[in-house]
Amino acid sequence: MKELFVSKNDADQRLDRFVGKAVPLLPESLLQKYIRLKRIKLNGKGAKRDEKVKQGDVLQLYINDEFFETPTEENAYLKVSNPKLSIVYEDDNILLADKKPGVLCHSAGEWAYDTLIANIQAYLFQKGEWNPKRENAFAPALCNRIDRNTGGIVIAAKNAEALRIMNEKIKDREIDKYYLCAVIGRPNPREGVLKDWIFKDASKNQVYVKKRNCPGAKEAVTEYRTLKTENGLSLVECRLLTGRTHQIRAQMAANGTPLLGDGKYGTEQKNREFGEKGQALYSYRLKFVFGTDAGALNYLKGQSFSVENVEFAKKYFDFDFSVDN
């Protein structure tokens, strides 16, 4: 049990709001439940959530110690009472999550609890597959990341061996990543390979496509094929052969077919015309093409996993995800 004392600056707040600020790791649903169960008491008695606290009041909190820790990315999972996950595949070693556009994989420099990794850790914690109190160092971790405004499949490792193997396979390019994108216009030719050099301006978080090598530039190679063309837009599948920052967005724009909704490399007039504010890009399929031994993950060799739906692909092209395209 811990006690909180209400100071002059904290007075005249609702009980639930005061406790929510004082114990930021406590999920809202648990906070309300504990008030109802009188595990949160005001001056030794049960109280209603909307009762105002006064200067000099004392709160008794019968709450687990971990909720009083300083909020960090490592304990953000405690704040997640109902994990929001779209699971593409799961076994004892890995979990493939369909990250939606707008969701952060990790917190961006400051504490944020509603990230993909926090939701995955909360999911595994709540179903008893992972308990940090039984681990000295390991926590479920993401093996790859996707930009906040891009959706797609992210691989999470449930144990240290799976994390080590998956990181090696990603480094050695033994996992094929396929993206869907909606571009303005029609790629010419309909399919092919884009080979360019990309220079990154870190201060602007923007890249520039060069046709020749130059100091600081890195080679970028993308395979693409056009699946459908409708109403001035084309649905294109891309396979990354290199993994450069903004690779697909920048290369498709340099090829004359910028991504729909892309505010950085796209066409603002067309984006407004279609009412799109986020780039139409989705990492929709993964294939494990292990060329070397994968140890405990050998059973994944040759397997392919894809999402069930991509909003822009259905909206503009009525793309059928049940058919092998």
Domain boundary among 51, 68, 85: 68
Residue segments in the chain with a per-residue pLDDT below the cut of 50:
none
Are 155 and 189 within one domain?
no
Domain boundary among 102, 136, 171: 171
* CATH number, domain with residue 215: 3.30.2350.10
Please name every residue paired with 131 in a beta bridge, in sequence order, or none if there are none: none
d(CA 321, CA 228): 13
For 226, residues 6+ apart whose C-beta sits below 8 A from its C-beta are 186, 187, 190, 191, 234, 235, 236
Are 119 and 16 within one domain?
no
- Asked whether residue 325 is assigned to any structural domain, the reply reads no
What b/e readout covers 177-194, taking b as 16+ CB neighbours within 10 angstroms? Answer: bbbbbbbbbebeeeeeeb
Task: Assess contact for 138 and 89: CB atoms under 8 A.
Answer: no
Q: Strands, E, within the chain: which ranges?
A: 2-5, 40-42, 45-46, 58-61, 87-90, 94-99, 141-142, 151-157, 175-184, 191-201, 206-210, 218-230, 233-240, 281-288, 304-306
Are 312 and 184 within one domain?
yes
pLDDT tens-place string over residues 125-172? 999 999 998 887 899 999 999 999 999 999 999 999 999 999 999 999
Are 207 and 142 within one domain?
no
Are 126 and 11 within one domain?
no
Q: How far is CA 166 from CA 129, 173, 299, in A?
A: 19, 10, 13
Are 303 and 223 within one domain?
yes
- Asked whether residue 187 is assigned to any structural domain, the reply reads yes
The predicted pLDDT at position 136 comes to 76
Are 186 and 250 within one domain?
yes
Domain boundary among 26, 41, 68: 68
Are 102 and 160 within one domain?
yes
Task: Assess contact for 250 and 265: CB atoms under 8 A.
Answer: yes
Are 121 and 61 within one domain?
no
d(CA 27, CA 49): 15
Place of tokens 């917190």: 107
Are 179 and 164 within one domain?
no
d(CA 99, CA 312): 15
Q: Provide the domain count of the chain.
A: 3
- Asked whether residue 7 is assigned to any structural domain, the reply reads yes
pLDDT tens-place string over residues 250-291? 999 999 999 999 999 999 999 999 999 899 999 999 999 999
Are 194 and 134 within one domain?
no
- Asked whether residue 211 is assigned to any structural domain, the reply reads yes
| Residues of the domain holding 260 | 175-317
Are 119 and 61 within one domain?
no
The predicted pLDDT at position 133 comes to 84
d(CA 110, CA 72): 8
* CATH number, domain with residue 37: 3.10.290.10
Tell me phi and psi for residue 278, to 5 degrees: -130, 145
